[in-house]
Amino acid sequence: MKIFILFLAIIQINIIWSQNGFTMIRKAEKQFEKGNLKKALRLLDKADSMDYGFCGNARYEADEAIAFNRLKIYDATGDYIKAANELNSINYYYRGNVDSLKIIYFIKGFDKQIIKREIDSCIATINNLDSIDFFSGLDLNVNFSEKPFHISFETLKNVRKDTFMLTEENRNIPMLNRFQLSLSKQPFYLLLIE
């Protein structure tokens, strides 16, 4: 019985610690609404260094909330490169596709042609589909971003379908070329052509 009570106490302490981080995030959101952007960033920095317990989902949700709040601040201050890099730092395996949103922010900070040339160069270096994990995303080592440009699982799901589904139109196109062609038809890439 004592062990059970000790176990419950440990879980309760862990829950309290993890809630402190989320409280800090809510305080940052309130500071943002008041227009205190520097204070909001400091609170988000504190929240980022807090412990969210042993549940990976809590840490993931905190990282996402911190990133989107930083994104709002960087957008409000016109620091579009930091905004794009903030989006690029999150792993969106379980969430939707933000590839186009990242490109929109990068376009606000860089010339489209520079971004397109970098992405094209990275796509051209892919010479083997065996090295691509279609279930976790694809990292392109571009120079315009602090981290590799992460193409989401959702985008790769579409690319995988285009690449491996044999049709009359693509029957004579090698699989690697189908992969590269499909990447260039994705919404995030089309923003670079418009």
Q: What secondary structure, in 3-state letters, does 42-68 show?
A: HHHHHHHCCCCCCCHHHHHHHHHHHHH
Q: Is 124 found in the same domain as 61? A: no
Domain final residue, candidates 25, 42, 77: 77
Residue 84 located in a structural domain? no
- pLDDT of the residue at 17: 44
Torsion of CA 60, 62, 68, 69, to 10 degrees: -170
Looking at residue 1, what is its pLDDT?
A: 57
Provide the pLDDT for residue 33.
Answer: 95
Domain identity same for 125 and 176: yes
* Residues 112 and 167 placed together within one structural domain of the fold: yes
- Spatial separation of the C-alpha atoms in residues 51 and 137, rounded to whole Å: 27
Q: Is 83 contained in some domain?
A: no
Please report the pLDDT score of residue 13 as a whole number: 45
Q: What are the structure tokens assigned to 86, written together?
A: 């903030």
The verdict on 58 and 98 lying in the same domain is no
Note whether residue 87 is domain-resident: no
- Shared domain check, 111 and 63: no
Question: What integer pLDDT is reported at residue 77 of this predicted model?
Answer: 95
Range of the domain at 161: 92-194
Task: Please list the pLDDT of the chain residue by residue as tens digits (194 residues).
Answer: 556 454 444 544 444 444 588 899 999 999 999 999 999 999 999 999 888 776 667 888 888 899 999 999 999 999 999 999 888 877 655 555 789 999 999 999 999 999 999 999 999 998 888 878 777 778 888 988 888 888 888 888 889 888 888 788 878 888 899 999 999 999 999 999 97
| Contact between residue 154 and residue 97 where contact means Cβ atoms under 8 Å apart | yes
Query: Which residue among 77, 106, 140 closes a domain?
Result: 77
**Residue that finishes a domain, picked among 48, 77, 106:** 77
Structural domain count of the chain? 2
Residue 171 located in a structural domain: yes
Whether residue 187 sits in one domain with residue 149: yes
Crossing angle between the packed helical segments 112-125 and 175-183, to the nearest 10 degrees: 160
Separation between Cα atoms, residue 192 and residue 172, nearest integer Å: 28
Helix axes 80-88, 99-109, angle to 10 degrees: 150
Same domain, 133 and 174: yes
